[in-house]
Structure 1
Amino acid sequence: MPVPEAPVVPVPERSGGGLFGGKKRLEAENAQLREWVERLGGLDAMQITAATELLRAEQARLQVAIQDADRRLREIEAQIVQTEDVALLQEVGVYEYQHPLGDAVAYKAKLAEVKDKIKSMARAGQAVLGATNWTVNGSAAEGRRMVRDFSKLMLRAYNAEADNCVRTMRPYKLQSAIDRLSKAGEAIVKLGKTMHIHVSDDYHRLRVYELQLTAEYLAKVEEEKEQVRAQRERQREEEAARREFEREKARLRKEESHYRTALAKLLANGDTAGAEELKAKLEEIGAAVAVVEAREANIRAGYVYVISNIGAFGENVVKIGMTRRLEPEDRVRELGDASVPFKFDTHALIFSDDAVSLEGRLHDELRERRVNKVNPRREFFYATPAEVRDLLEKIAGQHLLEYRDVPEALEWRQSVHGAAPAV
């Protein structure tokens, strides 16, 4: 019986779709080999030995082809720069400033200096360098002109990539942008190899520095915007508290005026017993006015609240904040008015003459449990109401005014169970 011919297995091609379709092609070749081996069942020992040698030779050839394909795939992957936002965002960490400056204005001024230096280097011919001994038809002048023209063309392509990186910059895209710009420089080196045209190291470093400053400028701008938003929120809260204090004092003063008028009438009528009762009431009103004025004067006094919103943030997430309002529930209602789909539930309320410090201590104790570890003004924490209650009792003593462990979350529970919408 003749030895069956070994299947012809083509080596993966070096261009086109051959590289990326190699896996399917190898699977097909393996299927051919298995079919060939099955046909060996009717061969004698010498024929099987010859067939085995053929198989070993084919296997060695395939192994070399696979190694060559893997090597070329790695080369191609090394030339790829990741630019997808989703992939870049998955890798982003807390942004760290490499060139920390005071504020966005300082970054903007530094960027202006860098841009001026970029223009100066380009005008002085220090951005792209090339051969100085190139000749065209024996003419050194023509050679210099050709090198100069090609250098300008290469610089224009490099600057277009750099400007695009600056224009589309986001802080989390910084490393990707630097990689893209470096690849552009490498491409210029390859294209200008015959005339030794390349982007100078100093110019490339300057443009990378521009990218870094741009990323930090954008991060600082967003940081300052967040600070402004937080400051405006504090001002709105302070203004609401001030109006509340004024309304309460006006109410108490009006009530005091009524009692004084009634007291004068009782004294005129000789009703001393009734007059004594009104005097006691006036003393209570005076004490209440003093308390409101003291609260108004002490900007650190107020309520620390612990609230949750299971429908918006899930279980075991609480918000710990502070308000100077006379009625702290007013602040809780405001937080649940528009920014979240359901109302907040109050778990704890505690009054303190130094509510600012109490809130700060609670935040410090739960620092590692912050939901937002970048922006400390976001006061949400992964904790149960019971855990916060235990902290409050340890830090603030027995001044807990109100505590509820299980959130009512009526709107959320009704929504989950398919309640009909209110008419």
Structure 2
Amino acid sequence: MLSILLLLAGAALAFCSVWIQMQQREQEWLRQKLRRYESLSSKEEQERQLASNIAELERQEEFLNTQISNLQQESRELDAKVYLQAIDYYEPKFDFIKSSQYVIHLKNLKLDQEKMRKDGKAFISNVKLTLDGNQRKGDKMIKSLLNLIKEAFETQCDYAIREVKYNNVSNLEKRIISTFNKLNKLSEVTCCEISQGYLKLKVEELYLKYELEEKQQEEKEKDRAIREQMKQEEKERIKLEKARREAEEAKQIEKQYEEDIEKVRREMEQAAGTQLDDYQRQIQYLQEQLSKAQTNTENKEKSVSNFKRLKSGYIYVVSNIGSLGRDVYRIFMTKNNNPDVYVKTMNPAVPFPFDVHFKIYSEEASETVEYLHQQFNNKRVNLVNERREFFNVRLDEIEQAVQKICRETGALRIEKFEKVPQALEYRRTQAAERRSDYHTTLTDAYVQEEGEIA
């Protein structure tokens, strides 16, 4: 019995040992698994941290992009302000049309300045001084002081007038006035001064000089444009004349071949035998040459036609009362192959379509539109940029100018003339706005009436 118990105890002990080992292995396995989960948990934490860092960096990037955008906008605004300050909006003080008028006025102005200096009205002294009891020495000292003031003031004025440009004319005027005030302040003790009248003439000279140079530059650019246009027109004229001459020569050659063929045919009527074959070969040869000459004539005449076509085009007069108001017209030329479609689709940014008042075909389109622009040059909407072809003018004035060109040149063909703009979309929009205002008024009145009853 005891042995059985010992055997059972031993078996139990062995089982317990095996079970403990199994438990230990399971614990180790669980520890390893736990470590894996711990690693996974750490990885997830790292990923969460990384995601948080990325989100923070993205927020910082967005903030920096916003700052950069704001700085760029401020930079553009600053550039615009600097540019506006640089050009320093200038309103002309004189309204001379030609530079020669400025030159004459400037010359007269200098004569006025010289007269003021000679008459003692430019640099003046209102006191008599004596030096060592000597009046002559006192007068000499006053004269020397006035000469010093004159040299200082004239030097500043000469510099300003010599260096004046579009971006410094106002500052140079301020410099002249500042010099005037400083010199008069310094010479108060000796009662010497520069007169206001002389200062006015110097400032006037500054602006005259500036406007003269601007006018001369404008005239140079216009002259250059005219020369280029004349040069281009001369080239076109030479090419056209050459094409016409070649076409005439080709016609003469064609006519000569026709006459030769007719002559051979007459001679052929009197021929016989082998001589007849010779005439037949001559006719065949002449007909081949005639065919070439006819082709050449067609090509030359086509060249003449192409040159004429290049100079021709359509001139349109259009309005847009909904976008531009009344009595504002665009006068322009187009050589587009489909001009009507071009007019309908031009300027898509404006809210309403354009209405066509004139559609005119001209053999000399460039010259015609240039003439019309010159007729209304003083009525341009944009007085600075001549490429903006809008004019504040009545339609009957445009009609008179067009009819005058027709009478004088006969090179125009008026294909369309509408005196009153249709402006359909604009008028419908106005009608819709009136209906809307009417219904709004009725609704407000009804609401007010209901409120009073309540």
TM-score by length of 2: 0.44
The structure with the greater share of residues assigned to helix is: 2
